[in-house]
Structure 1
Amino acid sequence: MTQLEDPVVAASSKRMLRGSLGVTAIVFMVVAAAAPLTVVGGAAPLGILLGNGVGFPALYAVSAVILLLFAVGLAAMTRHVPKPGAFFTYVGYGLGRSSGLAAAWIAMLAYTTIQIAVYGYIGYILGYTADTYLHVNVPWWLYSLVVIGLVGVLGYRHIDLSSKVLAVVLVAEVGIVLVLVAAVVVQGGAQGLSLAPFQPANVVSGSPGVGLMMAIAAFIGFEATAIFRDEARQPHKTIPRATYTAVIGIGVFYTLAAWGLVMAWGPDHVVAEAAKDPGSLILRTMAAYLGTAGEVITNVLLITSMFACVLSFHNVITRYQHSMSNAGVLPERVGSVHHRHLSPHVSSLVQTVTAVLLTIVFAVLQLDPVLAVFTWFSGVATVAIALLMAATSVAVIIYFRRTEKDARLWNTVIAPALGFVGLILSTVLIVANFPVMVGDTDAKGDPAFGPLSWFLLLLVVVFPVIGYVQAWWIRTRRPAAYAKLIDTIAA
C-alpha cells in the first residue's frame, strides 16, 4: 500500500489546515484582534483619566518594547518548531508536556474571556445606537447573539474570507484615526504641538501602574501569528515577519493616536475632558476636528472594529482547539477540517456554541454588558495573557539552551530574558491594580481586593491546574497516548 493509500496518513491529512496566507493577511488578522479604534476610543481615554494622565501615550511605546523583546524569542521558536499551537506548543517543547497542557488551558481562558468581553460591549453599543437613532429598545444580549451568529458563519468558512473582511474593516478604522491625527497636526492642536507625553515627569505621574495595565491589554492578539502557521505561505519566513510587523505597527499606531488625543485637547485640559465622559472623548475629538461627518463615521467604525475583534479571536480560538484536538487533549472530532472550506469547522461550531451559552448565562444573571461582562473578563484576559507570555519566554530560553539548535544569544537568551522581566513586572502591576479594573472596593469605596477580584483571579489559577490534572490523567490512564504527545507538544 502506498503512502497515499495509507488510511492513517489520509486521515491525518484531512485534519491538517491548508492555505496561502501572506504576511499582510496574517497581520490584518491579529491586528484586528487588538481592535485599534476600540482601543483608541475606549482604553486610551481611560488610561489618560485613571492612569498617568498626559504621559499615558508613552506607555504604549514602553509596552511595545517589552512585547517586541518577547516577540524575538517567539519568532526564533517558529523557525525551529514547525507546529501551529503557538504558546502551548512552545511551552511544551521548553518546559515539558504537562506545562504545555497547562499553557493550552490558560490560553483558552485568555482568548475566550476577551472574546466574550467584546461580545458584551458590542451588544451594548448596538443597543445604544439603535435606541438613540432608531428608538428601538432591545436587550443588549440579543444583539450579541446576532453578532455571534455572523462571526460563526465567517469562522465556519475558509479563512481567506475572514481575512478579507478584517482587511477592509482594519484599513477603515486605522484610516479615520490617522486622518484625525493629521487634522490635529495641521491645526496645531489646542495648545500647540509638543512632546509633553514623553517627558519623564509626566510618564511617572499619577498611576503609571494602571496606565501600563491598560496599555499592555491593548496589544492582546498580536502573539497569535503562530496559530496560523499551517495556513501561511512559507511559514518559517511569514510568521516571524508578521509577528514583528504586528508588534511594531500596533505600538507606533497606538502611541501616535494617543499623542494626537492629548494634543487635540492640550496637555493642560485633556484629563478634564476625559473625566467628562471617557467613552465619548474620541467622538467629541472627531466632531471638533473633522465635523459631524467624522463623528458619525467613527461611531459606525467603532462597531465594525469590535466585530473585527471578535471575528479575529474566534479564528484564533478555533485554531487553538484544533491544535489541542490533534494533540489528543480535546475530542478527536474537534480537529476535523471541512472538505471544501478547509476550515476547522467543528472547532468553529464549538466556539460559537460556547459564546452563545455564556451570553445567555450573563443575560439570565442580568449582568451589565460593560461594567460587568466587558470589564471583568478583560481583566482576566490581561492577567492570563501576561503570565502566558512570561512562561513562553522561559520556555524559549530552556529549549534553545537544551537543544543548541540556535546559537544566536540575543534571539534565544538575552531578548527573551528581558521580555520575561518586563512581563513579570507588568503582571505584578496588573494584579496589584486588578480591583481598579473590575471595580472592586472596600467599605469606604476605595479600590480593594474583595470576593469578585479573588474569584476572577482564581480562574487564572484553576485553568492551568486543569491542564496539569489532564496531563496526569493521560499519563496514568493512557501512557501510550501520553508518550505520543512528544510529537505534538514536546520534544
Structure 2
Amino acid sequence: MTATNQSPGVSAGTDRTPHGRTLTGSLGVTAIVFMVVAAASPLTVVGGAAPLGILLGNGVGFPAMYAISAVVLLLFSVGLATMAKHVPRPGAFFTFVGYGLGRPMGLATAYLALLTYTTIQVSVYGYLGYILEVTIAGLGGLDLPWYLYALAMIGAVGILGYRHIELSSKVLGVLLVGEILIVLALVAAVVFSGGAEGLSLAPFEPANVVSGAPGVGLMFAIAAFIGFEATAIFRDEAKDPSRTIPIATYVAVIGIGIFYTLATWGLVMAWGPSEVVDVAAQDPGAMVIITTLNYLGPIGEIVINILLITSMFACVLSFHNVITRYQHSMSAAGVLPHRLGDVHHKHLSPYTSSLVQTITAGVFVIAFAVLGLDPVLQVFTWFAGVATLAIAILMAITSIAVIVYFTRKRRGVASLWHTVIAPALGLVGLVGSAVVITAYFPMLVGDVDATGVPTFGALSLSLIAVILLVPVAGYVQALLLKARDPQAYERITAAIGG
C-alpha cells in the first residue's frame, strides 16, 4: 500500500512523502459493511431512537417504519451502486451529483453532506456524554458533567481516526458483533417467552402504522440508516472497488432494515401492544435496559449497558472516518484547503483532515456546554432531526443525478431498471419522506401550539434554514470559482465531475 502525490485519477507511484494525496487500502466487503453499519449504530438505535420513535411517533406501528424506509433506501441504493461502478471516484454523493448535475450542484451537495454527517455525529456525542455521566456516577465514580466525557471520547476517536482505516475497521467490527448478538439474544428471549401479550403482527397492521405522528416515526427510522450510503466514500481504500462497493451497499441497507425491524418488533412484543407506549413514556432512555433486565437478567442488563456505550463510540468513530474522507475528497477537488488532502506517510490516513474534524467536534461540544443545552432532549434530538431531513434531501438530489447522468451520457451501459426505474421509485419515496419529515419537524424540536399541533416557530425555522443555506454556500463558491479562477474551476472536474 502506498500514498502518492498524484491527483485522483492518475496512476499511483511509490512516493511515501508525508504529504501524499491518495488514500489506499484493501478493505473488503465485510470491513466496509462493518464501517457503515457501525455508523448506523444498531444498539444506539434500538436503545435510544426506537423508544423515542414509539413514544413520539406512531406507537405500536413504529417497527413498520424501518421496513418502509428499507424499501425506499434499497431502491435508492440501486442507482447509487450502479453509479459507483461507472464513476471511479471517491466522494459518494457530491461526486455523483457533480457528474450528473454539474460542478455547482456537486459542490452544493458536498457541503450538505458535511452538514449531515457532522450534525449526526455531534448529536451522538451528546447522548454518549450523557450515558457516560449517569453510568459512571451510578457506579460511584466521578460525577462529571456530560461534556467532559464527550470531549474525552472525541480525543479517543481522534487517535483512532489519525491511524490507518483498517485499525478503525477492526475496532468497529468487534464492537458491532457484540451489539448485534445482545439484541438478537433479547429478541430470542422475547420470542421463546411468548412476549407480554403473546406474539403478533400488530406493528404492521395499517391502522397502527398510520396512528399517532407517523412523520416523526419516519424521521427516526430514516435517521437509523444514516451512514449506509457512505460505502462509496471508501472507494480508494477498497479491494476491487467496482465489485466491493455495490455489494457492500446492498448488504448494508438490507441488513440494517431487517435487523431494526426485527429488533423493534421484539421490543413491542416484550411489553405488549397495549402497554409499550406507556412504558416508553416513563423512561425512554432506559427502556431497552429495563427490557433486557426482565428477559435476560442482571448479567444481560450489565452487558447491554456496556455495549450501549461502545455502540455510540463505534458510531462517532465511523462518522469521523466518513467526514475526514469527505474533506479529503473536497480538498482534492480544490474547494477546501490543500492540507486537508494530506495522507500520512506511515498510517496512510487523511491525518490532517482527521485532526481538523476532531477539533471541529470539540468546538461544537464546548459551544453546547456554554449554551447549557440538554445533551439528549436538545443536542441529540435537534441535531439528529437536522441530519435526517438533510439526508433525505441529499439522497433525493443524488437520485435525480443518477437518472440524468445515465440518460445523457451513459445510455446503454446498464439496464433501465438500474439507471432509471429504481432511482425514480427511490426518488418518489425520498421526496415523500422529506415532505412528511418537514411537516412534523417542529414537533421534534418542541415547536407546538397549546393544542400540541406542530407550528413552525423560530427554532424549527432556524434549523431548516441551516439545511437550505449550507448547500447554497457551496453552489455560490462554485460560481465564484468559475468567474474568478476558471483554471481552479476546471480542476474540480478531477474529483467532482461535471
TM-score by structure 2 length? Answer: 0.95
Alignment of 1:127-276 (within 5 A): 127-276=133-282
- For residues 210 and 186 of structure 2, what CA distance do their matches in structure 1 show? 27
Query: Is 1:295 the equivalent of 2:301?
Result: yes
Deviation of 1:203 (Å):
1.5
User: Which amino acid counterpart does residue 63 of structure 1 have in structure 2?
Assistant: S
User: Which amino acid counterpart does residue 147 of structure 2 have in structure 1?
Assistant: W
The equivalent of 1:310 in structure 2 is 316
The equivalent of 1:368 in structure 2 is 374
Query: Is 1:412 the equivalent of 2:419?
Result: yes
- For residues 293 and 93 of structure 1, what CA distance do their matches in structure 2 show? 52
Name which of 432, 455, 458 aligns with 1:451: 458
Matched residues, number: 488
- For residues 110 and 474 of structure 1, what CA distance do their matches in structure 2 show? 24
- For residues 408 and 360 of structure 1, what CA distance do their matches in structure 2 show? 50
Residue by residue, what CA displacement relative to the aligned partner does 1:58-78 show, whole Å, maximum 9, x if unpaired?
Answer: 111000000000000000000
Alignment of 1:32-43 (within 5 A): 32-43=38-49
The equivalent of 2:487 in structure 1 is 480
Name which of 457, 470, 476 aligns with 1:463: 470
The equivalent of 2:64 in structure 1 is 58
The equivalent of 2:123 in structure 1 is 117
For the 8 Å contact 1:442–1:450, the answer to whether it is kept is no
Residue by residue, what CA displacement relative to the aligned partner does 1:36-76 show, whole Å, maximum 9, x if unpaired?
Answer: 00100111111112222211111110000000000000000
Deviation of 1:489 (Å):
1.1
Deviation of 1:390 (Å):
0.3
The equivalent of 2:75 in structure 1 is 69
Query: Is 1:434 the equivalent of 2:445?
Result: no
Query: Is 1:105 the equivalent of 2:132?
Result: no
**Unpaired runs of at least 5, structure 2:** none
Q: Pick which of 480-489 and 397-406 moved more.
A: 480-489
Deviation of 1:14 (Å):
2.4
Deviation of 1:484 (Å):
2.3
User: Which amino acid counterpart does residue 453 of structure 1 have in structure 2?
Assistant: S
- For residues 199 and 287 of structure 1, what CA distance do their matches in structure 2 show? 29
Query: Is 1:78 the equivalent of 2:92?
Result: no
Residue 134 of structure 1 aligns to a residue in which SS?
Answer: coil
- For residues 369 and 452 of structure 2, what CA distance do their matches in structure 1 show? 27
Residue by residue, what CA displacement relative to the aligned partner does 1:231-252 show, whole Å, maximum 9, x if unpaired?
Answer: 0000000000000000000000
Deviation of 1:304 (Å):
0.4
- For residues 391 and 337 of structure 1, what CA distance do their matches in structure 2 show? 30
Residue by residue, what CA displacement relative to the aligned partner does 1:172-226 show, whole Å, maximum 9, x if unpaired?
Answer: 0111000001111111111111111112222222222221111111111100000
* Residue 56 to residue 191, structure 1, CA distance change in 2 (3 Å): same
- For residues 58 and 19 of structure 1, what CA distance do their matches in structure 2 show? 38
Query: Is 1:283 the equivalent of 2:260?
Result: no
- For residues 32 and 407 of structure 1, what CA distance do their matches in structure 2 show? 31
Q: Pick which of 406-415 and 150-159 moved more.
A: 406-415
TM-score by structure 1 length? Answer: 0.97
The equivalent of 2:26 in structure 1 is 20
Q: Pick which of 368-377 and 151-160 moved more.
A: 368-377
For the 8 Å contact 2:5–2:22, the answer to whether it is kept is no
- For residues 462 and 6 of structure 2, what CA distance do their matches in structure 1 show? 50
The equivalent of 1:389 in structure 2 is 395
User: Which amino acid counterpart does residue 59 of structure 2 have in structure 1?
Assistant: G
- For residues 275 and 138 of structure 1, what CA distance do their matches in structure 2 show? 27
Residue by residue, what CA displacement relative to the aligned partner does 1:443-467 show, whole Å, maximum 9, x if unpaired?
Answer: 5665321111111111111111111
For the 8 Å contact 2:104–2:474, the answer to whether it is kept is yes
Deviation of 1:345 (Å):
0.3
- For residues 478 and 198 of structure 1, what CA distance do their matches in structure 2 show? 56
Q: Pick which of 6-15 and 33-42 moved more.
A: 6-15
Deviation of 1:87 (Å):
0.2
For the 8 Å contact 1:386–1:427, the answer to whether it is kept is yes
User: Which amino acid counterpart does residue 94 of structure 2 have in structure 1?
Assistant: F
Q: Pick which of 281-290 and 445-454 moved more.
A: 445-454
Alignment of 1:317-332 (within 5 A): 317-332=323-338
- For residues 229 and 240 of structure 2, what CA distance do their matches in structure 1 show? 18
- For residues 194 and 374 of structure 2, what CA distance do their matches in structure 1 show? 40
User: Which amino acid counterpart does residue 244 of structure 2 have in structure 1?
Assistant: T
- For residues 323 and 103 of structure 2, what CA distance do their matches in structure 1 show? 20
- For residues 466 and 36 of structure 1, what CA distance do their matches in structure 2 show? 33
Residue 21 of structure 1 aligns to a residue in which SS?
Answer: coil
Alignment of 1:318-357 (within 5 A): 318-357=324-363
Residue by residue, what CA displacement relative to the aligned partner does 1:288-329 show, whole Å, maximum 9, x if unpaired?
Answer: 100111111111111100000000000000000000000000
User: Which amino acid counterpart does residue 35 of structure 1 have in structure 2?
Assistant: S
- For residues 211 and 6 of structure 1, what CA distance do their matches in structure 2 show? 46
Q: What's the RMSD between the two structures over aligned residues? A: 1.7
User: Which amino acid counterpart does residue 380 of structure 1 have in structure 2?
Assistant: V
- For residues 139 and 88 of structure 1, what CA distance do their matches in structure 2 show? 38
Deviation of 1:441 (Å):
3.0
- For residues 366 and 442 of structure 2, what CA distance do their matches in structure 1 show? 26
* Residue 407 to residue 173, structure 1, CA distance change in 2 (3 Å): closer
For the 8 Å contact 1:55–1:205, the answer to whether it is kept is yes
User: Which amino acid counterpart does residue 411 of structure 1 have in structure 2?
Assistant: H
